[in-house]
Structure 1
Amino acid sequence: MTSTTDWAARLERTSFIELDARARAAALLDDGAAYELCGPFDRIESPWLEPQGVVPQSDDGVVVVKGRLGGRPAVVIAIEQAFQGGGIGEVSGVKIATALSLAARDSRAGTTTAAVLLLETGGVRLQEANLGLATVAEVCSALLELRALAPVVGVIAGALGCFGGMSIAAGLCTKLIMTEEGRLGLDGPAVIESEAGVAEFDASDHPLIWSITGGRKRTRTGLADELVADDVATLRSAVIGAVAQGVPAEHRSQRIGELRAHIEAARPSEPPDLAAAGGPPMTRGRAWTQALADGGVNGGVPSVISADVTLGEDLARILTVVPDPHSPYHRARRGEVGLREGLALASEVTGTVAEDAHLPDERRRPIIALVDLPSQAYGRVEETFGIHQALAAAVDAYATARAAGHPVIVLIVGTALSGGLLAHGFQANQVLALDDPGVLIHAMHKEAAAKVTLRTVAELDELAGRILPLSYDVTDWARLGLCDELLTVENADVPTERDVGRAKDALTAAVARARRGPRDLSNRLDSPGARRTRTASRRVREALTAQWG
């Protein structure tokens, strides 16, 4: 009898997963009060897809609906998985970030406005690589701005799941609700297989995939808060309940001790041969840190080093991720940002903020994220223990420092790829980079990007010559309006005395600009480069702001 009743209830429920993004948003909000903003009839499309032979969509795959949820003001932001796999590009990313910022504006003005993120996404849209990466950083910043004022509830319902940089955003949410079908991880199985090989992660092994990233596993290990059935009424009730709980005193991405205890349960399968591994290599990151430092270089863990540097009247703290050949995590030995690195960065930044909390804003130390890293760590152990949450902790710490009045400056001296840059550097007030062929900034390694997008490396190179966000060239990247200054140096590998002096002068000027400027990332859309190349982003911001009410 019980079984019959259960099956009857199952057959009568309305599937949330089977709805498209627009219908999902409408299903959550109260009847009669919802209206869509910056919708398809505004016709703001990605300008980068059609030149690549990809048909754009007039809402760019993101639906923003404002209304009420359980009687409370709310905005639902739904990603349409049927368009480009839910990938985040220039237009879609700015829609999300702007909606979150406007909800924060209302909340500060006295109308507390919660946000619900329906996360069905593979992460950055590789056809818009560098702009997708930039807008994901802006989404994280805006989410944290709102999260201090009103609940931000994430929902991962469908089998596509939430991956890439948007998994970091999921890790920042006030509450995270999943179904058993949903998945959550930094790197999708196909990406890990393309980067590390089938022995590291077999993308065809579906039971393995769900045992690591599925909703049941993520809820059981505390990386999600509630597991619900695929039912509209059940999911709506869970979301209303999460919003009603309000803003907690501490968020998951701030509980560094708890995250560390969770990660310490990991048992890396390949301890290194210490004799064969040798000492740490002299990379650009280490060389520039040592050259800039006033004194010695320190580190809580071998792969994250810190130093102090005098910049004008300021004593700044430098943080750098460097290779650790002795790391027990075999996918994080070449300078990747992995589980330990994400938490170490979060601890260092949080510690600096706590030490300076008693000082007036103008005396709070600048934090310099010096970047030379190949990417995040692509590995099975990393996904099992939630690398996305470790990186979310670092993003949270950097953004919190910026909001507290610490100038956060990133200096890119070498490679800066994907989630590694999102976690370590892309929450900065000011962005500096060396004007050197060895500086490479992108959403994914070229060979892996070619495999994922079903193109050859030669085809990617040809497209990069025509499509600015696809370029791996640092001068092209700067033209997107993402860089405040390119520095010409004599020797990027072994900086000369003049190189160090030039870098210190540039960092000092960047600190002054950061102290004068906004404490969010809004200046990125107002830079001279952005005014020329991010016209679609600016149109989205203007349209959403005008329609918000």
Structure 2
Amino acid sequence: MTDTARLLQQHSFIELGARQRAKTLLDSGSFRELVDPFQRVMSPWLERQGVVPQADDGAVIAKGTLGGRPVVLAAIEGAFQGGSLGEVSGAKIAGALELAAEDNRKGIPTAAILLLETGGVRLQEANLGLAAIADIHAAIVDLRQYQPVIGIVAGSVGCFGGMSIAAGLCSHLIVTREARLGLNGPQVIEQEAGIAEYDSRDRPFIWSLTGGEQRFASGLADAYVADDTAAIRQRVGDCLEQGVPKRVRSQQHEGYLARLAEVDTEVQISAQAVRDLYTAACASTVSDLPRRNLPGLRPVPQNAGHSRGASWFQALAGTASTAAGLPASVRVADGSLDHYPARYLAVIPEPDNPFPRARQGEVGLLEGWGLAKAVDEAIEADRNAPEKRALVAIVDVPSQAYGRREEALGIHQALAGAADAYARARLAGHPVIALLVGKAMSGAFLAHGYQANRLIALRDPGVQVHAMGKASAARVTQRSVEALEALAASIPPMAYDIDSYASLGLLWETLSVAQIEQPTADDLARVQACLGQALADIAQGGRGLSGRLGAPNRAASARVRQLLREQWQ
């Protein structure tokens, strides 16, 4: 058959809408949509901002079969709001994955397929979208224990933001030539780091670093297929046949840290250099690479940058020795909490960080994989212990790292490693508490803190939660920073302050201290008492994140889950 004849026989997957993509993948006649457009479950936040909502909120959830196997499929509509996820669309995906995991615990083998055509968090619903994506991450890690979760990034929007972390958590990831996969969108990187770092108008450059072919060639995707519905369906079937991998990519921190040790950060990295670095071992064996001298694996330097996170880590960890073998920007120490064994974790500024874009406390490549290593070591050490140590994430992270090296080397995958480890620790019975003492922003918070059983925040103007910095958020939403702040005053999910965030029902507790920058003995005692109370509360509850669904400002999230459950069987 000639190339021309072969092309004429292909049917584009990319040209289809989300609902058509879902129907194409599932067995004929098996497609059944849940919470469909006729239910009229739409975003409660968009009309208040002059944005016309969509009846399905840009997410299609369907149950059916593929090759006779029961699956649930979530397809994101890239044509609506750039495929961004808000409260309703995020709850639909998270809720469906949660029910699939329940099915498996009941002996009903239900796998999942995610069609990831998304820009990440919908900024008009910022903190509710971010929370929903954290729920999606938790549900993927839970379901992935039983059945494969298969991600597909086809095009033309690509997969960015917190949902790129979701892609990094999948059991199997399929990409096309037209796909793009990265944590930070090109315009956001240019906004934060400058055009010399990342030119958002240079499309060949962007695809060379984050395009589907590059991601597959560098081991950050498992399959590379043509834009053809039959080929994609066949590859999904192959992934279902393979089942649950022995070890997923997001658990391979040792191998990735070893490879990052070889990066010359004095020069900008090229696409070919990434391939050469990562393809010496494919994704399934990168963790078996020989250990090398890892960058930043040295005693914490005396000139380590000051931060609230560093101060609170020192106060809470006390005289406990810091763990060795981690990047200098990742502080970890084993101590106690209310007579209970505890591991304290923090990301701190590191002026000598070999990756320049991660020197101010940002969560970058080393930080993501370093956190994954620190948490995973606790899981392994306590696997057979009757009492599993608590994990206390001290959160003071201004953002993820924005840079060319970070995107090229897969920062989304590094952050997936951290989120994966925290979620697995929680599922394994480790109480996980996040203490917000500074900024908790975007992908950095998703990686470090958002998988906690309980979130606690100190009351202070410097404690902020959001999906994006103000300047970038203003640019993306086409507003001035002043207009953004004015709108946020009446739209709680868009606000940065901790009181607005608390109104969403995501915080377990807030408390005030006298000196947040340098805690006093009384401050420390108050926080320790609150952490101890959280520990006791976790012991009375489950291991999931459902406790965050009770607030009126998150009522739509609970309503979506109720409808999904009613329509599931």
Common fold: TM-score over 0.5: yes
Q: Which amino acid aligns with 1:137?
A: A
What SS does structure 1 have at the residue aligned with 2:20? helix
Corresponding residue to 2:53 among 27, 51, 56 = 56
Determine the C-alpha separation between the residues in 1 that align with 2:469 and 2:221: 30
1:31 paired to 2:28:
yes
Residue in structure 2 matched with residue 344 of structure 1 by the alignment: 370
**Number of the residue aligned with 1:382:** 406
Matched to 2:311, the amino acid is A
Q: Distance in 2 between matches of 1:325 and 1:309?
A: 27
Distance 1:438 1:544 in 2: 38
User: Which residue matches 2:172?
Assistant: 175
Spell out the pairing of 1:46-445 with structure 2 (5 A cutoff).
46-269=43-266, 279-296=303-320, 298-299=322-323, 300-360=326-386, 363-445=387-469
Q: Deviations over 1:216-274 (max 9, x none)?
A: 000011100010000011110000111111112211111222222343343213699xx
Indicate if the aligned counterparts of 1:432 and 1:484 stay in contact, CA closer than 8 A: yes
Match of 2:504, SS? Answer: helix
Q: SS at 1:432's partner residue?
A: strand
Measured after TM superposition, the shift of residue 440 of structure 1 is: 1.1
Q: Matched residues in 2 for 1:297 and 1:193: separation? A: 40
CA contact (8 A) 1:303 1:324 kept: yes
Percent identical among aligned pairs is 55
> In the aligned structure 2, how far is the partner of 1:387 from the partner of 1:336?
12
Letter in 2 for 1:393: G
Picking from 484, 497, 507, the partner of 2:521 is 497
Matched, 1:545 2:529: no
Contact 2:305 2:360 in 1 (8 A): no
- Residue aligned with 2:11, SS: coil
Given that 2:394 and 2:434 are in contact with CA atoms closer than 8 Å, whether structure 1 keeps it comes out as: yes
RMSD: 1.4
Please point out which of 543, 548, 552 is paired with 1:524: 548
CA–CA distance in 1 between the matches of 2:262 and 2:111? 35
CA contact (8 A) 1:295 1:308 kept: no
Q: Give the conservation status (yes or no) of the 8 Å contact 1:15–1:231.
A: yes
SS in 2 for 1:129: helix
| Matched-pair contact (CA < 8 Å) for 1:45–1:58 | yes
How much has 1:326 moved relative to structure 2?
Answer: 0.4
Tell me how far apart the structure 2 counterparts of residues 278 and 506 of structure 1 sit (CA, whole Å): 31
**Alignment match of 1:9 (pick from 6, 30, 33):** 6
1:306 is displaced (CA, Å) by 1.5
State the 1:8 CA deviation: 1.1
The corresponding residue for 2:298 is none
How far residue 292 of structure 1 moved from its aligned partner, in angstroms, is 1.4
Contiguous gaps of at least 5 residues in structure 2:
269-294, 296-300
Residue 526 of structure 2 aligns to a residue in which SS?
helix
Instruction: Look up the equivalent residue of 1:231 and give its one-letter code.
Output: D
1:480 match: secondary structure: coil
Q: Which amino acid aligns with 2:481?
A: V
TM-score by length of 2: 0.92
Amino acid at match of 1:538: A
Inter-partner Cα distance in structure 1 for 2:535 and 2:267: 42
From the superposition, tell whether residues 349 and 511 of structure 1 become closer, same or farther in structure 2 (CA, over 3 Å).
Answer: same
Q: How does 1:452-491 map to 2 (within 5 A)?
A: 452-491=476-515
**Helix, strand or coil at the partner of 1:17:** coil
Measured after TM superposition, the shift of residue 483 of structure 1 is 0.3
Q: Secondary structure at the match of 1:230?
A: coil
Mapped partners of 2:265, 2:431: distance in 1: 36
Tell me, in whole angstroms, the C-alpha distance in 2 between the residues paired with 1:377 and 1:467. 28
Partner secondary structure for residue 260 of structure 1:
helix
| Counterparts of 2:392 and 2:167, CA distance in 1 | 26
Count of aligned residue pairs for this structure pair = 536
Q: Which amino acid is 1:345 matched to?
A: L
The one-letter code of the counterpart of 2:331 is: I
Q: Measure, in 1, the Cα distance between the counterparts of 2:185 and 2:305.
A: 30
Cα distance between partner residues in 1 of 2:177 and 2:428: 38
Q: Distance in 2 between matches of 1:7 and 1:267?
A: 44
Mind listing any 5+ residue stretches in structure 1 that lack a counterpart?
Answer: none
| Structure 1: distance between partners of 2:446 and 2:365 | 14
The answer to whether the 8 A contact 1:270-1:330 is kept is: no
CA distance in 2, matches of 1:311, 1:457: 41
Which amino acid in structure 1 is aligned with residue 471 of structure 2?
A: E
SS in 2 for 1:536: helix
- Letter of the 1:127 counterpart: Q
Measure how far apart 1:7 and its partner are: 1.1
Whether the 8 Å CA contact 1:117–1:154 is kept in 2: the answer is yes
Counterpart amino acid of residue 37 in structure 2: P
Offset at residue 296 of structure 1 (A): 4.1
| In structure 1, distance between residues paired with 2:529 and 2:486 | 37
Could you tell me how far 1:278 is from its partner in structure 2? 8.4
- Is contact 1:196–1:378 with CA below 8 Å preserved after alignment? yes
8 A contact 1:290–1:296 mirrored in 2: no
**Contact persistence 1:392–1:423 (CA under 8 A):** yes
Is this contact kept in 1: 2:322–2:334, CA < 8 A?
Answer: no
Runs of 4+ in 1 over 6 A off after TM superposition: none
The answer as to whether partners of 2:442 and 2:468 remain within 8 angstroms in 1 is yes
Q: 2:175·2:223 contact (CA, 8 Å) conserved in 1?
A: yes
